[in-house]
Amino acid sequence: MNPPGSPVAERLESLRHEFALDAAGARQLIGRIHEEMRSGLAGGRSSLKMLSSFTRHPTGRERGRYLALDLGGTNFRVMAVELSGERSFEILRETRIAIPGELRSGDGERLFDFIASSLDAFLGESGLPGDGRYGLGFTFSFPVRQTGVKAGTLIQWTKGFTAGGVVGNDVVVLLERALRRRGIGCVSVDALVNDTVGTLVAKSYEREGCKLGVILGTGTNACYSEKGKDGVIVNMEWGGFAGFEGNAFDRTLDAASANPGSQLFEKAVSGMYLGEIARLVLVGMAKEGLVAAPEGPAYSLTSEHLSRLVGSAPASGDGVARAVAEIVSTRSAHLAAMALAAVLLWQEERLAEDGVVAIDGSLFEKFPGYRETMVAFLEELLGEHARNVHVEDARDGSGVGAAIIAAIASGTRPESGTP
């Protein structure tokens, strides 16, 4: 234990101030987000890309069996989904595949070939008849400038990906070429989907009144339907928000990252980076002679480790590491609440009606206390409007949403075969 007034206790208190975000600071950031949103929607210079998804909310009557391929981080998923046409769905089959590190940073063609071979294995295990045609929604959770519902070029890799030959190219074309090389003729890529858009669409399929789709996991992002754009869902790519300046630990992490100067907000919020921020804090404390230096290289401390620390009993394990985990994760939750409040207040006229914020991702779903901390700060920022905002899980939203958007794009045609 570290008694009050001890050097370790004093340093922890100092760190709480360095990582603190109060309501006044959050409101300043909300103003900056609104400025960036305004500029991005007008086609001006902005750190928020405000990309059209070419997708609107579903009616809930879409039906049929569809495939979804969800590439969002170190793993990707393949799913077979049945839509009832009555605001309900069933995941018939799902598999999750880890992407080897050499494919995340190697040649892009090899990455897409790996995805195609994994889809081929899924089809074989599912017993799908080879003479059928199966519409597929492709969730690609990286910044993409879409030019249509099934076309879009990668703007930049994030989340540690650097695979060559993909940036500036149409990712649907790259996938379709890989499918042809693999001889998979029974699958048609009907829709390109951002994971946040998929999350919003999946929740909207189940119930009306979904205001936002949000990802709080390995990465972070949000989308909403913009009235000025005919209700088309706008992918904000808010991980790139540059109005948040961070502290010395954020700057150290950014400088050593694969994309320095980019995705600054995501690096302070998302699960991919929280463990490394905590590790850098502990390294700094070790240099001050306050704790033993943490073992392992960069990114050896993960958000899963932080989750276990925060979920442990206060008297157990490493108390200093636990306190650092709480400090870093609390700031993440507060920043997420601030950004949520910014988008909700942008649609202030809609706050008079009940609505849902649909959130998918491991931070929100699994990190102890994260959801409660985020919601409490969101309520503080929204004031009386908070009573009309209902934050809900949207587990599997990015995959299910891709299937629904494929159904919308293909005219809700029922597919042959039974996954």
Catalytic residues: 159, 195
Q: Which long-range contacts (CB under 8 A, 24 or more apart) does 11-16 make?
A: 11/285, 11/288, 11/290, 12/320, 12/323, 12/324, 12/327, 15/281, 15/324, 15/327, 16/327
| Sign of the torsion angle spanned by Cα atoms 323, 329, 335, 341 | negative
Amino acid (1-letter code) at residue 153: T
Q: Is 254 helix (H, G, I), strand (E, B) or coil?
A: helix
**CA–CA distance, 111 with 116 (Å, rounded to integer):** 9
Q: How many CB atoms lie within 10 A of CB 242?
A: 15
Terminal C-alpha separation, the chain: 56
Q: Cβ(134)–Cβ(76) under 8 Å?
A: no
Helices (H), 240-288: 248-255, 264-269, 271-287
Q: Is 232 helix (H, G, I), strand (E, B) or coil?
A: coil
Among candidates 333, 388, 385, which has minimal Cα distance to 364?
333
Residues making up the chain, counted from first to last: 419
Tell me the sheet residues that pair with 187: 134
Residue 287 burial (C-beta neighbours within 10 Å; 0-12, 13-18, 19+): exposed
Token couple for 175: 């996938």
Q: Cβ(322)–Cβ(312) under 8 Å?
A: yes
Work out the angle between the directed axes of helices 319-346 and 303-311 (0-180°, nearest 10): 110
E strands along 341-415, which residues? 355-360, 389-393
Among candidates 224, 205, 214, 101, which has minimal Cα distance to 163?
101
Q: Cβ(32)–Cβ(243) under 8 Å?
A: yes
**CA–CA distance, 259 with 242 (Å, rounded to integer):** 14
